[in-house]
Amino acid sequence: MKRIYLDNSATTPIDPLVLESMTTAMTENYGNPSSIHAEGRKARATIEEARKRIANQLNCSIGEIFFTSGGTEASNMVLKNSVRDLGVGHIISSPLEHHCVLHSLDSIKESGAARISFVKVDREGKVDLDHLRELLAAANEKTLVSLMHANNEVGTLLPLDEVSKICQDNGALFHTDTVQTIGYYPIDLDKIPISFLAGSAHKFYGPKGIGFVYINGDNIIKPYLDGGAQERNMRGGTENLYGIVGMATALELAYVNLEARQKQIRLLRDYLGVQLENNVPGVEYNGDPIGGHYKILSVSFPKSPKGEMLLMNLDMAGISASGGSACSSGIDVGSHVVGHLHPDSERHTVRFSLNHHNTKEEIDYVVKELKKML
């Protein structure tokens, strides 16, 4: 049975062209980038070229991109080191952030190094910008605002330009987790002032275990991993050259094909919504299905005994979706995002997240199976 993969917010399949670029690098580019001989120089040049390819897509300078192991490390680094190195004494975030942000905030709070405030969000997960302004106006300490661009569970989008302006007007630093939007929306760092931004290759058809952090040239934080002088002294350890090459290729492909992919995914996602509404009684959405991320449809179904086993039954029918985010422990413990937006709800949530390889036939099959299951 051919499987139907609708869990692209958890991760995406690697693009064959990305794989090709990586296997070429693996076979032909094995030097240690820190070595001074020819093999080392070749590897170093490849890494710096990849950095340039990534910076070009985001319209920033190459000196502002630092490679990390992914989005988790990028956000940990920004939050913890801006408190440690930049005198940040207050962080404003939202209760809907990814755990890599929320748990970093927990440990900052525990250490007593900075105060944490949470901005209000509405039932669709939209940030209350007036409340953000109030929190900023009332703060006496150096403040960093950390808000994700698109929520990975429900897809609600943040108006990046507006939030960046609010931060600028209030002299606050701005960190945004763009893990779900890099490669899906154009991001021009020359136009939108952002202090820190996190990206992860496996969300845009690149390899796992590689990502990057953008650090605006004005906000120099110190190394996250102590070791060698890699990443211009920002992160010790031999670079993941193959991952870096794959990520640069994936990002270029994502932006070259942006419009076509966007159109195709949005059409299919909207088709899924219409078909669900027409065939399954009591369908509702979490988040902002019209204005939110075009690849995500977070659907909820009325409480029913059959609903308890929905994800497992979908899996057995060859369909991969998720209950919220991909759970790191392998046990679905429910979603903190959906729980926050609908605290009293007993409905069953399924997050469908699409890619440009999905087809209308796949969607028809999914709706047919769901109809049977419910």
Residues that bind ligand PLP (CB under 6 A): 70-72, 98, 100, 148, 152, 177, 179-180, 200, 211, 325
Residue with tokens 């058809």: 205
The minimum distance between CB 52 and ligand PLP, in angstroms, equals 22
Q: Which is closer to ligand PLP, CB of 152 or CB of 298?
A: 152
Burial of 284 (0-12, 13-18, 19+ CB in 10 A): middle
Q: Which is closer to ligand PLP, CB of 230 or CB of 322?
A: 322
Q: Which is closer to ligand PLP, CB of 254 or CB of 374?
A: 254
Q: Looking at this protein, which amino acid is placed at residue 27?
A: T
Read off the DSSP letter of residue 299: E
Q: Which is closer to ligand PLP, CB of 127 or CB of 374?
A: 127
The minimum distance between CB 221 and ligand PLP, in angstroms, equals 19
Q: Which is closer to ligand PLP, CB of 240 or CB of 275?
A: 240
DSSP per-residue codes, 163-224 = HHHHHHHTT-EEEEE-TTTBTTB---TTTS--SEEEEEGGGTTS-TT-EEEEE-TT-----S
Q: Which is closer to ligand PLP, CB of 44 or CB of 175?
A: 175
Residue 126 has which token pair?
Answer: 């939209």
Residue 327 a catalytic site member: yes
The minimum distance between CB 45 and ligand PLP, in angstroms, equals 26
The minimum distance between CB 57 and ligand PLP, in angstroms, equals 18
Measured in whole angstroms, the distance separating CA 25 from the mean position of its chain's CA atoms is 26
Task: Give the count of beta carbons closer than 10 Å to the beta carbon of residue 358.
Answer: 22
Cβ-closest position to ligand PLP: 70
The minimum distance between CB 74 and ligand PLP, in angstroms, equals 8
Residue 286 has which token pair?
Answer: 């979490």
End-to-end CA, the chain: 22
Cα separation, 236 vs 90, in Å, equals: 28
Cα within 13 Å of Cα(173), Cβ side: 27
Estimate the crossing angle of helix 241-256 against helix 16-28, to 10 degrees: 150
The minimum distance between CB 37 and ligand PLP, in angstroms, equals 33
Which one is catalytic: 60, 100, 167, 327?
A: 327
For residues 206 and 14, the answer to whether their CB atoms sit within 8 Å is yes
The DSSP bridge partners found for residue 297 are 352
Q: Which residues participate in catalysis according to the annotation?
A: 327
